[in-house]
Chains A and B, each alone.
Chain A
Amino acid sequence: MLLSLAIWIPIVAGVLVLAVGDRNPWMRWIALAGAVLGFVVTLPLWTGFNAASSAMQFVEFHRWIERFNINYHLGIDGISLLFVLLNSFITILVVIAGWTVIESRTAQYFAAFLIMSGLLNGVFSALDAVLFYVFFEGTLIPMFIIIGIWGGPNRVYAAVKFFLYTLFGSLLMLIAMLYLYNQAGGSFAILDWHKLPLSLSVQIALFFGFLFAFAVKVPMWPVHTWLPDAHTEAPTGGSVVLAAILLKLGAYGFVRFSLPILPDASRYLAFMMVALSLIAIAYIGFVTLVQTDMKRLIAYSSISHMGFVTLGFFVFNALGVEGGLVQMISHGFVSAAMFLCVGVLYDRMHTRMIADYGGVVNTMPKFATLMMVFAMANSGLPATSGFVGEFMVIMGAMKANFWIALVAATIGILGAAYTLWMYKRVIFGVVGNDHVAKLTDLNFREVIVLGVLAIAVLWMGVYPKPFTEVMHSSVNDLMRHIAVPKL
């Protein structure tokens, strides 16, 4: 019941917001209430979760489409729990962040975010492949509209590119799912598929079917090119959800589908995945360095950070997988915060160019302090959440192969370079121009949003145990499962 509530409360709130319309003074409060309520119902998931068990918990099962044996089957384990929480939490921040900033078609804006939040919870808790697919694809519609209506000057191009890229991946995944359905004797249950024996050649074909869908979403090099466009043109809230949650869908898909269903193909093709991940970390790291637009810079840095996630998954040990998951959660906080920071500046100056800023610390000291926390986390500084994930992934890689770890760790320094260099150019120095001199510091609403995120980032950096302990048994179970060939 709780999972259904986590999915449907935001969606119903979204429809309600649409129904009351732009001019109603209560519209924003309904949106906030929906978001907060959506988060509150996920808290019992956290407190009631049995971390010792690797089985699916809070399971719901209803017959849905009997014609194809498709069921409304929900459940979460240690891997998906944190994403449901993260998503519901970020939604509140997005609603608050867009409170006064969005001026046209405000109701549609909030509704799109709330509906998407519900759909995303659905993706993370679906245990039926078609249900997963419906939620997975369903998120495209609100995101398409968010980028296209409230985005920047080049928004239409970005929206269409985003949609077509992700649809391309998903459609191949659909065929792979249909193949598995027939192989499994007419079952779309993901957990049944985990046990399905498949020959290596079939596994490899299916692996590529899933790979396109997930690689586009992660995004992995070389199918990442939609991301900088989409991020740059999206409104702040859109970028936040895109970076914090939507990118996680792809990586989550690898853990839920590719690794357990196709363990032999995953192992066989691991070298390719590792190579692509290292290219993402290194090549995209250099690309990030030369960006002049802050949002573009953070977008590229997301790709680079997600490279650590996929690297962790394909070194085949518990440390790597857990590191990847922690990195995902951490990236959810950090990238959300970074985009919100850029949003704060953009709302005041209406430019995202690094060159237009300089010396912001003189006029916005509170902002500069908070942003520093996030910049440090983005660089992977110890005692911030960014460090924990990257460190675990590199340790995991070390177990698998010394050279992979060496390369990943060495290139990791680029993360510090581009983030801190941007921070230096925007925040420090003398006041760059008159516009900067007139900037006002954070208001109460912005302090709340960024402050909460700063606490989360530091908490996770100093004491990551609450985050890692819920995933231990699920990850260990996954490792045991994929160690056994399915041929």
Chain B
Amino acid sequence: MTPLDYAPVLPEVLLLLGACGLMIFDLYVKHEGRGASAVFAQVVLYLCAAATLFVEFGTRAHLYLFNGLFIVDHFANLLKIVCYLAVSAAIVYSRSYLYERGMLRGEFMSLLLFSLLGMMVLISAGSFLTVFLGLELMSLCLYAMVALNRDSATSTEAAMKYFVLGALSSGLLLYGMSMIYGATGTLTITDVAREVARQVGSPADRTLLVFGLVFVVAGLAFKLGVVPFHMWIPDVYHGAPTPVTLIIGSGPKVAAFAMAVRLLVNAMPSLAPDWQQMLALLAILSIALGNITAIAQSNLKRMLAYSAIAHMGFMLLGLLSGYVGDNWNSRNDAYSASLFYMIVYAVMSVGAFGMLIYLSHAGFECENLEDLRGLNRTHPWYAFLMLIIMFSLAGIPPTAGFYAKLAVFQAAVAAGHVWLAVAAVLLSLVGAFYYLRVVKLMYFDDPVAAQPVRPQPVGRLVLSANGLFLLLLGILPQTLMAMCKTAIELL
């Protein structure tokens, strides 16, 4: 291989170098000057983004590298860009927050970058080995970040739970993968797909494959946080420092979605009738439990955690509608609907948690519903942004969330799952109630005590862009939808 052949992994290489560089750089800055580390991390991110764009436009559409261990395609590049943006926004939002709480240490930034590297490897994984490698790199960094606030009991508890359950889910995933390896004799996703297609006809082989598949799906469900593998989500979202919650709720979810696509759609399309059934059950349970339980929460972070569970259920509606009546006619529509949903969800999630971070300041943690009371009186612009985010989460037009729901419902109806769609729609009505409650608190109630907001011009700008993007996407969703469709077509 010539050096040029390695060009498609340029973003990952740059990120690795950047993350290592940041660790060294951080030794030379004092605590007061930690802002410089954040700037360093941002620069690394922009370089990676530029490299990814270079790869996207500069190379062929679909590349297998390192003997098929690593895939570069539109799908991977699109999701990587989403992850960069999410992490970049996370750094902007959380800088002052972490600084005031003494958590802006160099470890945070480098852990964040290493975790991002894990996400990218996961997104581009072409083999079970790289899937696992990326997954563990991402998760291990996240465990440490959850425990960043080491004096807080809830954070430590959350980190412990996250670690134990994360390890368990990795174990399940590995177990499933080993079964499939046993059946197919290969770890490379394309080869697995070929072998599975060959063996699926014989009942004996099929049993083994489906047995492995069950464990793989369980492992995926853990990472996506769907019922009944959701138990860690509320505690971790609640216990982690809000910036870490923001990160967990965006990038890793996108990466987990990519993992689901690689493992189910790419590796085991022949078993689609089996995994679609499993996903249907997971989806409807998640939508039901997430939406109903969220009503009872008074803590916003917990509420958003349950809302995340519900949203992952909606996302699965697309993933389970690709293979219908012995053909793949609706494959592109269904999977691109899920992809679109995932991206829109990441934007909404970053915005919602970003708002919570932004409204917190030294000695005040904005995390209860009550803390938003009367926001329209005190800070009308933030109230408006939050209004957009909430209506988008609820799926009310003209916001991006509506088209995301429209796309997955369309996929479900086209696949003949009309009753699934009706149930999901009715449960999304239940969901609308708790999002409305947030709007009600902000707009209809009087403020208790006006909390000052620290002036952060950059944060304000990014937050505004984040909120308005949802509105813009709600008016002109075509571009992103077309990108999602191309990404899936060339998968």
Which residues of A are in contact with B by a Cβ distance under 8 Å?
Answer: 64-68, 105, 108, 130, 133-134, 137-138, 140-141, 144-145, 148-149, 155-156, 159-160, 163-164, 167-168, 171-172, 174-175, 178-179, 181-182
A164 touches B436 (CB 8 A): yes
B53 at the A/B interface (Cβ < 8 Å)? no
Which residue of chain B has its CB nearest to the CB of A145? B443
Cβ-defined contact, B440 with A160, below 8 A: yes
A8 to B: closest C-beta gap in Å: 12
* Residues of the A chain whose Cβ atoms lie less than 8 Å from the Cβ of B478: 64-67
- Please measure, in the bound complex, the distance between the C-alpha atom of A235 and the C-alpha atom of B439, giving whole angstroms: 19
Q: Least Cβ distance of B405 to chain A in Å?
A: 8
User: In the bound complex, what is the Cα–Cα distance between A408 and B407 (angstroms)?
Assistant: 45
Instruction: Name B429's contact: one of A67, A159, A168 (CB within 8 Å).
Output: A168
Taking CB as reference atom, which chain A residue is nearest B445?
A: A156
- Identify the interface centre among A159, A178, A181: most chain B CB within 10 Å of its CB: A178
Neighbouring B residues of A65 by C-beta, 8 Å:
403, 477-478, 481
Q: For the complex, is B396 an interface residue (Cβ under 8 Å from A)? A: yes
Measured between beta carbons, the chain A residues less than 8 angstroms from B403 are 65
Instruction: Say whether B436 contacts A163, CB under 8 Å.
Output: yes
Extra A-B contacts (16), CB below 8 Å, given A149-B443, A172-B425, A175-B425: A67-B482, A105-B376, A134-B398, A137-B397, A138-B397, A138-B398, A163-B436, A164-B429, A167-B429, A168-B426, A168-B429, A171-B426, A174-B425, A175-B421, A178-B413, A181-B410
CA distance A182 to B324 in the complex (A): 14
User: Do B432 and A133 touch across chains, with their CB atoms under 8 A apart?
Assistant: no
A148, B432: Cβ atoms under 8 Å? Answer: no
Residues of A near B439 (CB, < 8 A) are 144
| Pairwise interchain contact B413-A182, C-beta atoms closer than 8 A | yes
C-alpha gap A174/B426 in the complex (Å) = 11
Instruction: Tell me, in angstroms, the Cα distance from A163 to B439 when the chains sit together.
Output: 12
> Majority SS of interface residues in chain A?
helix
Residues of A within 8 A of B397 (CB): 133-134, 137-138
Contacts of B275 in A (CB 8 A): none
Given that A65-B478, A140-B396, A164-B429 are contacting pairs, would A175 and B440 also be in contact in the complex, using a CB cutoff of 8 Å?
no
For the complex, give the distance between the alpha carbons of A269 and B482 in Å.
41
Chain B neighbourhood of A66, CB < 8 A: 478, 482
Chain A residue nearest in CB terms to B384: A18
Q: 30 interchain pairs (CB within 8 A)?
A: A64-B478, A65-B477, A66-B482, A67-B478, A67-B481, A67-B482, A134-B398, A138-B397, A138-B398, A140-B396, A141-B387, A141-B396, A144-B436, A148-B440, A148-B444, A159-B444, A160-B436, A163-B436, A164-B429, A164-B433, A167-B396, A168-B426, A171-B425, A175-B409, A175-B413, A175-B418, A175-B422, A178-B410, A179-B418, A182-B410
**0/1 string, B418-442, CB within 8 A of A gives 1:** 1001100110110011001101100
Query: Is B406 in contact with A130, judged by CB distance below 8 angstroms?
Result: yes
Contact assessment for B444 and A156 in the assembled complex, using a CB-CB cutoff below 8 Å: yes
Q: Is chain B's interface secondary structure helix, strand, loop, or mixed overall?
A: helix
Which 5 residue pairs of A and B lie closest in terms of their CB atoms, listed nearest first? Answer: A67-B481, A134-B397, A148-B444, A178-B413, A171-B425
Chain A residues near B482: list those with CB within 8 A. Answer: 66-67
A156-B444, A167-B429, A181-B410 known; A137+B422 contact, CB < 8 A = no
Q: How long is the Cα–Cα vector from A199 to B436 in the complex, in angstroms?
A: 39
Which chain B residues (365-403) contact chain A, with CB distance < 8 Å? Answer: 376, 380, 387, 391, 396-398, 402-403
Q: B396 near A171 (CB under 8 angstroms)?
A: no
Chain A residues positioned under 8 Å from B429 (CB to CB):
164, 167-168, 171
Greatest chain A CB density within 10 A among B376, B409, B428, B443 is at: B443
Shortest CB distance B182–A (Å): 41
- The residue in chain B whose Cβ has the minimal distance to the Cβ of A181 is B410
Interface size class of B (residues with CB under 8 A): 35 or more
Q: Separation in Å of the B91 CB from the closest CB of chain A?
A: 31
Q: A134-B397, A141-B391 are in contact. Are A164 and B432 (CB under 8 A)?
A: yes
Which B residues fall within an 8 A CB radius of A? 336, 376, 380, 387, 391, 396-398, 402-403, 406-407, 409-410, 413-414, 418, 421-422, 425-426, 428-429, 432-433, 436-437, 439-440, 443-444, 477-478, 481-482, 485
Q: How far is B414's CA from A178's CA once the two chains are assembled, in angstroms?
A: 8
Which residues of the other chain, B, contact A159 by a CB distance below 8 angstroms?
440, 444
Q: Which residue of B lies closest to A182 (CB)?
A: B414
A67: nearest chain-B partner, CB-CB: B481
Which of A105, A137, A148 sits near B402, CB closer than 8 Å? A137
Closest Cβ of chain A to B487, distance in Å, is 12
Chain A residues whose CB sits within 8 angstroms of the CB of B432 once the complex forms: 163-164, 167
Q: How far is the CA of A137 from the CA of B425 in the complex (A)?
A: 15
* B480 and chain A: residue at smallest CB distance: A67
- List the B residue with the shortest CB-CB distance to A160: B436
Whether the Cβ atoms of B426 and A67 lie closer than 8 Å is: no
Interface-centre pick from B391, B409, B433, B440 (highest chain A CB count, 10 A): B440
- B134, chain A: closest CB distance, angstroms: 30
Residue picked from B387, B428, B439, most chain A C-beta under 10 Å? B439
Residues in B whose Cβ lies below 8 Å from that of A175: 409, 413, 418, 421-422, 425
CB-based contact A174/B409 at 8 Å: yes
Question: Which of B336, B413, B426, B440 touches A156 (beta carbons < 8 Å)?
Answer: B440
Chain A's closest residue to B437 (CB) is A160
Specify the chain A residue showing the minimal Cβ separation from B340.
Answer: A67
The residue on A at minimum CB distance from B477 is A65
Give, as a whole number of angstroms, the nearest-CB distance from B334 to chain A.
13
Give min CB distance, A71 to chain B, whole Å.
Answer: 11
Rounded to whole Å, the gap between the CB of A17 and the closest CB of chain B is 13
What is the distance, in angstroms, from B326's C-beta to the closest C-beta of chain A?
18
A178 to B485, CA, bound (A): 19
Question: Nearest CB to that of A134 among chain B residues?
Answer: B397
User: In the complex, which residues of chain B have a beta carbon less than 8 angstroms from the beta carbon of A178?
Assistant: 406, 409-410, 413-414, 421
Report Cα–Cα, A171/B430, bound state, in Å. 12
* Separation of A137 and B399 alpha carbons in the complex (Å): 11
* A128 smallest CB distance to B (angstroms): 13
A residues near B336, Cβ cutoff 8 Å:
67
Question: Measured between C-beta atoms, what is the minimum distance from A410 to chain B in Å?
Answer: 39
Residues of B within 8 A of A168 (CB): 426, 429
> For residue A156, which residue of chain B has the nearest CB?
B444
Kindly state the separation between the CA atoms of A64 and B478 in the bound complex, as whole angstroms: 7
User: Which one of B397, B414, B429, B485 has the greatest number of beta carbons of chain A within 10 Å?
Assistant: B397
Closest to B484 in A: A67
| Complex contact B422–A172 (CB within 8 A) | yes
Residues of A within 8 A of B410 (CB): 68, 178, 181-182
Distance A163 CA – B437 CA, assembled complex (angstroms): 11
